[in-house]
Amino acid sequence: MSVEFRPTRISMLPKRGQISWFEILSLSISILLIIPGIAPNFQDVILLSFLFGGLALAWNISGGYAGLISFGHSAFFGVGAYTSTILLVNYGVSPWIGVWIGALFSAVLGSVLALICARLRGPFFILSTLAFAEVVRIGALNWSSLTGGPEGLSIMPTPLLTNMVFASKTTYAALMLTYLVLVYFVTKSLEASRFGYYLLAIRDNEDAASAAGVNPLAGKTAALALSAALTGVGGSLFAQYFLYLDPTYMISPELSFQFALLPAVGGLGTAVGPVLGSFLITPLSELLRSHLGNAAAGLHLVIYSFSLVIVMLYFPTGVAGALNRVSHWRPFS
């Protein structure tokens, strides 16, 4: 009698469009991490890893699935942050509402970027996104009456639920984890949808996609709008945590590179990749900065860059790609 192999209903390692034990376990650990007292010295690093995990996932929707490598996502991050903050500071609108208005503005800006630049291919598109964000940054710097210009904007630090300002880092950590889970859920739903397949087709071969009835420009525009909206939400949350924002940091190329880097390290076009990338890189960059930042100026950047080169050389498909190889590893066959 032969033994029939039956695959379990939930697989161990992540699969496109399905939930795996790996993801359930990761979520459980993440929830444990925000319980007060479990990791008191690392709360900053943990909540930033959540936030940047969500931002990396948001970037990955257009960059990983639709193949639109953007170095201009800090523009959406900034527009989201400025919208909710200006609404709160000048008009007393609660950030719980402002976040979504910011997301809407970011989405509109994302569509504009797509309609102008998505016809460009490869490096030309990438350069145009970089220039696009610079235009937004310079605009924000000079429109002082609205944005406060180079002096930036501050949110009053009094803890108040309706203002989305909290006294405890635990609450912020829970907020950031909620954001991460939201973007993760959007990503997984995308993977299991027709629209998600359209994006993969556009990324892999635009001509073939068009021959199959897929409108490449419409697909790219929708992907960038969705990605920009979710990035805008992350920007608002960032502003609510640091209570201060200025164009030079919020809409910087460095930040744009960071959004692109985390999915690249973790695994482009996968759902777990950007989250793993964030949990690898965000703590590394934060810890290096806090431990080496004063001792030897710039040394943390050298170590940081060197680690990146190692990852890019030996894990070109990212951490998620390495995980995938492990799942196909059959040492005894």
Partner 1 sequence: MSALLQVNNIRRAFRTTLAIDDVSFDVQPGELLGLIGPNGAGKSTLFNLIAGVLPSTSGQIIFDGKRVTGWKSHDIARIGVGRTFQIPKPYRQLSVVENVMLSAFLREKSLAGARRLAEATLVDVGLTDYIEAPASSLSVGLLKRLEVARALAMGPKLVLFDEIVAGLTPTEVGAMTKFVAALPSRGITVIWVEHVLYAIMKTATRMLVINRGKLIAEGAPAAIARHPAVVKAYLGEEMDIA
For position 115 contacting partner 1 by CB under 8 A, the verdict is: no
Q: What residues between 178 and 207 interact with partner 1 by CB under 8 A?
A: 192-194, 197-198, 200-201, 203-205, 207
Residues 185, 33: Cα–Cα separation, whole Å: 20
Minimum CB distance to partner 1 smaller for 6 or for 194: 194
At its nearest, how many Å lie between partner 1 and the CB of residue 330?
16
Q: CB-wise, 67 or 72, nearer to partner 1?
A: 67
Distance separating alpha carbons of residues 42 and 292, to the nearest angstrom: 17
Nearest to 111 by CA among 75, 156, 64: 75
The smaller minimum CB distance to partner 1, of residues 74 and 324, is found at 324
Number of residues forming the site for partner 1 (CB under 8 A): 21
CB of 184 to partner 1, least distance (A): 20
Count the Cβ atoms, other than its own, within 10 Å of residue 159. 11
CB of 215 to partner 1, least distance (A): 5
> What is the C-alpha separation between 49 and 7, in angstroms, rounded?
33
Beta carbon of residue 208, minimum distance to partner 1 (angstroms, whole number): 4
Residue 149 near residue 141, CB atoms below 8 Å = yes
Q: Is 212 in the site for partner 1 (CB under 8 A)?
A: yes
d(CA 11, CA 92): 48
Is residue 209 within the footprint of partner 1 (CB under 8 A)?
yes
Residue 323 beta carbon to partner 1: minimum distance, rounded to whole angstroms: 16
C-alpha 119/C-alpha 79 separation (Å) is: 24
Q: Which residues are within 8 A (CB) of 92 and not within 5 positions of it... i.e. 6 or more apart?
A: none
Applying CB under 8 A, which residues contact partner 1?
A: 192-194, 197-198, 200-201, 203-205, 207-216, 269
